[in-house]
Structure 1
Amino acid sequence: MRPPATPDEVEAWLRRHGWTPDTRRTAEADRLIDARVRDSAGQGFPLQPWDAVRSFVSRYTGVEFPAPLAPERAFVADPTLGYQGDAEDITELAAEVGRRLFPVGYEFGEAGIVLMDDLGRFFYLHHTGPYFLGQDEAQALSSLMRGDQDEVDDYCV
């Protein structure tokens, strides 16, 4: 993976698309997360969020963040997008990385699911397989902005 974008570059990207540091859409985030919880339970693989998931989604939901070099791809902090059977795939990836995972958004254009683990790391579940986006929110947003990702194998138990 390339070195991450600077915090200033990431913040400028976010702001260009309507985000501000004081953004909090808590009610909308709760509604989306609760819908995802119900959907995963209906699939037979219940997923449970935690406070950091709710915080992340509340700060970024409601805004699309197109990738500067590939504007047909955009990150959207909406955990409800998925595909039939995705809760099982998320559960399997959680077992591989040895941590709880929960969807925090998706990448429009590629239909990849962005996941957060309970250590604050971010992963990307794509039809070509799982990938690692970053050790923290800053690295993950940089990866989403630049279209970078790393092989997940180094982050599995």
Structure 2
Amino acid sequence: MDFSGLSQEVREWLERNGWFPGRDIGSAEADELIDVRVRDAERQGNPLVPIDAAVRVIRTFGLLTLQYPRAGDLALEMNPNVGYDGDAGLISELGTNLGQRLFPVGYESEDYGPVLVDELGRFFHLHHTGAYFWGFNEQDAFAHFMSGAQALDAEDFFV
């Protein structure tokens, strides 16, 4: 990943939360995280296929707890394994509507809604109120989370 696209604000926030340029949890640990999520999706009857963009995000940011800068109890947990029963079907449905496969890379700690990456590297959040677009890349997604701004409806990106 080219980290030159990260704003100074996002880079400093990531670094305060344990990230550093070149960070990589390694393929063995990433594969283990991914396999847990794949098995859970199969158990739910809606297989999820890991995609390159999501694997890259998991290797780079996996297992970090990215604290929301304005509230100590809210975080972006970069662990693809947390979700809720039935979320695999919702992820698959959202992917179909977007015309892109999606794979979880983390979750937002307040409601445990999965944060997803599609084949284009775009970020989406599956919230109990609907699906939302967080950005075209890591910079956009992290800046969005940090700001607390209202996200666009994922429907705006349906094919």
Q: What is the TM-score of this pair, normalised by structure 1?
A: 0.92
Q: Which residue of 1 aligns with 2:62?
A: 61
Large movers: runs of 4+ above 3 Å? none
Q: Which residue of 2 aligns with 1:150?
A: 152
Amino acid at match of 1:135: F
Q: Distance in 2 between matches of 1:110 and 1:12?
A: 26
User: Quick one: percent identity of the two aligned structures?
Assistant: 46
- 1:49-104 Cα deviation digits (max 9, x unpaired): 12221111011112211111122210111110010111001011111111101101
Q: Which residue of 2 aligns with 1:23?
A: 23
Amino acid at match of 2:11: E
Q: Which residue of 2 aligns with 1:91?
A: 92
Q: Distance in 2 between matches of 1:50 and 1:63?
A: 20
Q: Which residue of 1 aligns with 2:3?
A: none
Q: Which residue of 2 aligns with 1:109?
A: 110
Name the structure where strand makes up a greater proportion of residues: 1
SS at structure 1 position matched to 2:73: strand
Q: Give how far 1:21 is off.
A: 1.0
Q: Distance in 2 between matches of 1:131 and 1:52?
A: 18
SS at structure 2 position matched to 1:71: coil
Amino acid at match of 2:12: A
Q: Which residue of 2 aligns with 1:12?
A: 12
SS at structure 2 position matched to 1:84: coil
User: Given that residues 66 and 73 in structure 1 are in contact (C-alpha distance below 8 angstroms), is that contact kept between their aligned partners in structure 2?
Assistant: yes
Q: Distance in 2 between matches of 1:118 and 1:51?
A: 7
Any unmatched runs of 5+ in structure 2? 1-5
